[in-house]
Amino acid sequence: MKRVRRLSWFALAGFLVLAANLVRMQVFQNEFYRLRSEKNRIRVIYLESARGRILDRSGSALADNRLSFNCSAIDREARPFVEKSSAILAPILGEDAGALEKRFYGSRPGAFQTILIAEDIGVEKAVAIEERLDLLPGFMIETRPQREYPHGSAAAHLVGYAGPMTDREADAVELYGYSYSDWVGQEGVEKSYESYLRGFSGGLQIEVDNRGRMVRALGVREPQAGKDVQLTVDAKLQVFLGRLLESRKGSVIVMELAGGGILAMDSAPSFDPNSFASKRGRKEVRRYLYGEGSPMVNRGIRGQYPPGSIFKIVTALAALERGRITPQTRISCAGEWVLGGNSFHCWNSAGHGPQALTEAFAHSCNIYFYNAGVSAGIDAIFQKSVELGFARRTQIDLPEEKKGFVPSREWKKKRFREPWYEGETANLAIGQGYLQITPLQALVMVAAVAADGHVFKPHVIDKIDGIRVAPERSRTVVYPARGWEAVRRGLEEVVSSPTGTGRLARVPGLEIAGKTGTAQSGQDKPHAWFVGYAPAKNPKVALVVFLEHGGRGGVSAAGLASSVFKWLSESAYL
Residue 179, domain CATH: 3.90.1310.10
Question: 503 and 400, same structural domain?
Answer: yes
Q: Is residue 356 part of a domain?
A: yes
Q: What is the pLDDT of residue 201?
A: 75
Q: What is the pLDDT of residue 178?
A: 66
Q: What is the pLDDT of residue 82?
A: 92
Which residue type is seen at 297? Answer: V
Q: Is residue 5 part of a domain?
A: no
Q: What is the pLDDT of residue 19?
A: 61
Give the pLDDT mean for 372-377. 98
- Name the phi and psi angles at 185, rounded to 5: -65, 135
Give the pLDDT mean for 520-530. 91
Question: 285 and 415, same structural domain?
Answer: yes
Q: What is the pLDDT of residue 305?
A: 97
Q: Evaluate the CA torsion angle 75, 80, 85, 90 in order and state its sign.
A: positive
Give the pLDDT mean for 191-219. 74
pLDDT tens digits along 453-507? 999 999 999 999 999 997 777 899 999 999 999 999 999 999 999 999 999 999 9
195 pLDDT more than 80: yes
Domain boundary among 231, 258, 277: 231
Question: 197 and 278, same structural domain?
Answer: no
The crossing angle, in degrees rounded to 10, of helices 422-429 and 378-387 is 30
Q: Is residue 256 part of a domain?
A: yes
Q: Which residue has the higher pLDDT, 108 or 553?
A: 553
Nearest 5°: CA angle at 211, between 207 and 213? 45
Give the pLDDT mean for 442-458. 97
Question: 395 and 280, same structural domain?
Answer: yes
Name the pLDDT band for 163 (thresholds 50, 70, 90).
Answer: confident
> What is d(CA 518, CA 530) in angstroms, rounded to the nearest whole number?
9
Question: 241 and 187, same structural domain?
Answer: no
Q: What is the pLDDT of residue 225?
A: 87
Q: What is the pLDDT of residue 20?
A: 60
Give the pLDDT mean for 552-561. 96
Counted residue by residue, the chain has a size of: 574
* CATH code of residue 275: 3.40.710.10
Q: What is the pLDDT of residue 180?
A: 61
Which residues are CB-neighbours of 27 under 8 A, at least 6 positions away?
none
Q: Is residue 499 part of a domain?
A: yes
Question: 301 and 269, same structural domain?
Answer: yes
Q: What is the pLDDT of residue 35?
A: 44
156 pLDDT more than 90: yes
Name the pLDDT band for 10 (thresholds 50, 70, 90).
Answer: low
Number of domains in the chain: 2
Question: 203 and 174, same structural domain?
Answer: yes
The 3-state secondary structure of 491-554 reads HHHHHHCCCCCCHHHCECCECCEEEEEEECCCCCCCEEEEEEEECCCCCCEEEEEEECCCCCHH
In the structure, how many helices (H) and strands (E) does the chain have? Answer: 22, 23
Q: Is residue 19 part of a domain?
A: no
Question: 507 and 482, same structural domain?
Answer: yes
> What is d(CA 291, CA 401) in angstroms, rounded to the nearest whole number?
22
pLDDT tens digits along 387-420? 999 999 999 999 999 999 999 999 999 999 999 9
Q: What is the pLDDT of residue 38?
A: 47
Question: 243 and 210, same structural domain?
Answer: no
211 pLDDT more than 60: no
Q: Is residue 31 part of a domain?
A: no
Please give the share of the chain, as a percent, with pLDDT higher than 90. Answer: 68
323 pLDDT more than 70: yes
Q: Which residue has the higher pLDDT, 133 or 532?
A: 532
Nearest 5°: CA angle at 327, between 322 and 330? 100
570 pLDDT more than 60: yes
Q: What is the pLDDT of residue 109?
A: 63
pLDDT tens digits along 115-129? 889 988 999 999 999
> What is d(CA 51, CA 230) in angstroms, rounded to the nearest whole number?
13
Closest to 445 (Cα-Cα) out of 253, 240, 268, 235 = 253
Question: 191 and 91, same structural domain?
Answer: yes
- Name the phi and psi angles at 362, rounded to 5: -60, -40
Looking at residue 52, what DSSP letter applies? P
| Extended strands (E) in 48-123 | 54-55, 61-74, 114-118
Q: Is the pTM of this model over 0.85?
A: yes
Q: Is residue 8 part of a domain?
A: no
Nearest 5°: CA angle at 183, between 301 and 159? 30
Q: Which residue has the higher pLDDT, 39 or 437?
A: 437
Question: 254 and 379, same structural domain?
Answer: yes
Give the DSSP per-residue string, 426-483.
HHHHTT-TT-BB-HHHHHHHHHHHHTTTEE---B-EEEETTEEPPPPPPEE----HHH
Q: What is the pLDDT of residue 2?
A: 59
Q: Which residue range(s) make up the domain with 119?
A: 44-231
Q: What is the pLDDT of residue 32?
A: 47
pLDDT tens digits along 262-311? 999 999 999 999 988 766 666 677 777 777 788 999 999 999 999 999 99
Domain boundary among 201, 231, 261: 231
Judged by average pLDDT, the poorest of 42-56, 91-105, 201-215, 537-551 is 201-215
Question: 313 and 299, same structural domain?
Answer: yes
Domain boundary among 196, 231, 266: 231
Query: Is-contact 565 505, C-beta < 8 A?
Result: yes
Name the pLDDT band for 39 (thresholds 50, 70, 90).
Answer: very low
Which residue type is seen at 440? Answer: L
Question: Which residues are catalytically annotated?
Answer: 309
Q: Is residue 16 part of a domain?
A: no
Give the pLDDT mean for 433-445. 97
34 pLDDT more than 60: no
Burial class (CB in 10 A: 0-12, 13-18, 19+), 335: middle
Average pLDDT, the chain: 88
Please give the share of the chain, as a percent, with pLDDT higher than 70. Answer: 84
